[in-house]
Amino acid sequence: MTDQTDEVRRRETAALWYTELQDPDVSPDTWEAFLEWEMDPANARAYHEIESAIGIIDRTSLNNSETKNPGRDRKPVLLALAAAAAAFIIGAATLTLQSPKPGPAPLTYATAIGEQETVTLEDGSVLTLNTNTTLTVSYSKAERLIHLTEGEALFEVEHSDRPFLVEAGGTITRALGTAFNVRADQDTISVILIQGSVRVSPSRTEDSKGKAGAMPAKTLQEGIVLKPGDRLDMKPGADPILSTIDPTMAGKWREGLLQFDNVTLAEAIAEMNRYSTTQLRIDDASLASERISGTFPAGKQEEFVQSLELYLPIQYRRSGQEIHISRTGGETGGP
């Protein structure tokens, strides 16, 4: 009897946490307190049960009450919904439920090299796909799940009862109503928070082993909460790196511009090559460590090289779909 009572109280607490985390202005301190509570596997299981149950419960009464009373405080309504979910779980434990009907088929969106695409989802959330990006959208009654296979996307999330989750390279980024950018390279996952609050944690899927999110850092075992301007970079087998950037620059690529701030030429070229089928190559290894700063149009490879000529001792030559860069002294620059 004591175990059953503990489970009831645990689910009631999980319902209260669910209500708190729906606040679009939820503070990092609240997230940290929640994460500490969720470290107990039984608590984490109870919270997941609440989320799933809320997806099954009919929200018609919630929507009608908000329509009739648009100015009322939403928190009591959410609390009632969460409490109903806790009661639903307890009652369902004694029933044999029918298998739920399969949800709608996932939708896949993709861009080619140099392309961008903006997609508005059914809940009003907006996804902007950057160059050479593939992602899958799977919406259900329990959650809004995005799987970023490759590339980069900026997510502007509408607030909802359902959590918004982005899986990428062994990580899962959880948001409620916010704006953030996720990039998945071959061995690196980067998350930049522009507005609101998100939590980044290892993916729950088995195939995440060996990927960027499956790292031995204690801080990532239950998640890292980001605040606006935070950038989190993750690589397999290494501790995550948390840095701070200007959040207004995170989505600059949507304007077709790439901004470099004291990066190596090798790093700048690697970024430029993401946006064009014409690839830049460094023939002289000593040039790779030269550092540059500036804003350049994405995909304009020859314009980029011509700009480099103004302050670096370089020359270039075309060869098919490649532009080779070397130090001056020998061949003349230009195509």
Segment 12-53, tens digit of pLDDT: 887 787 777 777 677 777 877 888 887 787 887 777 777 766
Is 60 exceeded by the pLDDT of residue 181? yes
CA distance 77 to 138: 26
The torsion angle over the Cα atoms of residues 201, 113, 230 and 75, rounded to 10 degrees, is -60
Of 156 and 8, which is predicted with more confidence?
156
Question: Nearest 5 degrees, angle CA 159-CA 83-CA 227?
Answer: 35
**What is the model's pLDDT at position 193?**
95
Least Cα distance to 175 among 146, 152, 135 occurs for: 146
Of 213 and 160, which is predicted with more confidence?
160
**What is the model's pLDDT at position 34?**
82
Q: What are phi and psi of 51, to 5 degrees?
A: -60, -45
Reported in sequence order, the residue ranges of the chain that DSSP labels E, i.e. its strands, are 107-110, 117-120, 126-129, 134-139, 144-156, 164-168, 171-175, 179-184, 189-195, 198-202, 224-226, 230-234, 241-244, 257-264, 279-282, 291-297, 314-319, 322-327
**What is the model's pLDDT at position 12?**
80
Is 90 exceeded by the pLDDT of residue 66? no
Is 60 exceeded by the pLDDT of residue 322? yes
Query: H or E segment at 88?
Result: helix 74-92
Residue 1 banded pLDDT, cuts 50, 70, 90: very low
What letter would DSSP give residue 87? H
Is 90 exceeded by the pLDDT of residue 84? no
CA distance 253 to 174: 23
CA distance 228 to 241: 16
**What is the model's pLDDT at position 314?**
93
Residue type, 28: P
Residue 321 banded pLDDT, cuts 50, 70, 90: very high
**What is the model's pLDDT at position 120?**
96
Is 80 exceeded by the pLDDT of residue 201? yes
What letter would DSSP give residue 283? S
The residue to which tokens 């689910």 are assigned? 11
CA distance 278 to 311: 23
Note the pLDDT tens digit of each residue in 288-317.
Answer: 999 999 999 999 999 999 999 998 999 999
Strand 322-327 to 230-234 pairing: unpaired
Note the pLDDT tens digit of each residue in 255-284.
Answer: 999 999 999 999 999 999 999 999 999 999
**What is the model's pLDDT at position 54?**
62
Mean pLDDT of all residues in 212-236? 74
CA distance 314 to 179: 40
Please state, rounded to an integer, the average pLDDT across all residues of the chain.
Answer: 81
CA distance 15 to 54: 10
Question: Nearest 5 degrees, angle CA 222-CA 226-CA 228?
Answer: 170
Stretch among 38-42, 172-176, 227-231, 314-318 having the lowest mean pLDDT: 38-42
Is 80 exceeded by the pLDDT of residue 134? yes
CA distance 84 to 205: 29
CA distance 152 to 162: 23
- Paired with 296 in beta bridges are 258
Mean pLDDT of all residues in 173-185? 91
Burial call 17-43: b when 16+ CB within 10 Å, e when fewer: bbbbbbbeebeeebbeebbebbeeeeb
